[in-house]
Copies of this chain bind each other. A is one copy, B any other.
Amino acid sequence: MSNQGQVPAEVIDCCSPLAREPLSGAQAVELSRLFKALGDPVRLRLLSLIASHEGGEACVCDLTGVFDLTGPTISHHLKVLRQAGLISGDRRGTWVYYRAEPDALRRLSAVLVPDAVVGA
């Protein structure tokens, strides 16, 4: 349940907002990996379900029932979100719990708009 392969935070932190100066190739590659992870309706709903769940975390069993998809497919989408660093997961007993990573969302938000409130 480790999060190996996720985008290193410092790459994003160094990014200026889109409209201030052009992105370098490396910055664009790292950022696009995050946006691509959000570019699927199922993953967007999964992230939303996790982030808005009480306690800020959700068990996989809370998520599978919502969609008309098989377990492996949900698991695949969760892995994509995890590798992008947008969520993190840990096993507690029988169940696996996922939690959103607000820092990653704030960094993405800050890239889109120069004057977004990042420190909130």
B21 touches A52 (CB 8 A): yes
Q: Choose among B21, B23, B109, B116 the residue that contacts A44 (Cβ–Cβ < 8 A).
A: B23
By CB atoms of chain B within 10 A, which of A39, A110, A115 has the most?
Answer: A39
Query: Which residues 42-68 of A sit at the B interface, judged by CB distance below 8 A?
Result: 42-45, 47-49, 51-52
- Report how far A99 CA is from B3 CA in the complex, Å: 38
B22 touches A52 (CB 8 A): yes
Q: Please give, as numbers and ranges, the residues of chain B lying within 8 Å of A22 by CB-CB distance.
A: 45, 48-49, 52
Contacts A18-B48, A22-B45, A35-B38 given: A109-B116 contact, CB under 8 Å? yes
Q: Please give, as numbers and ranges, the residues of chain B lying within 8 Å of A117 by CB-CB distance.
A: 113, 115-117
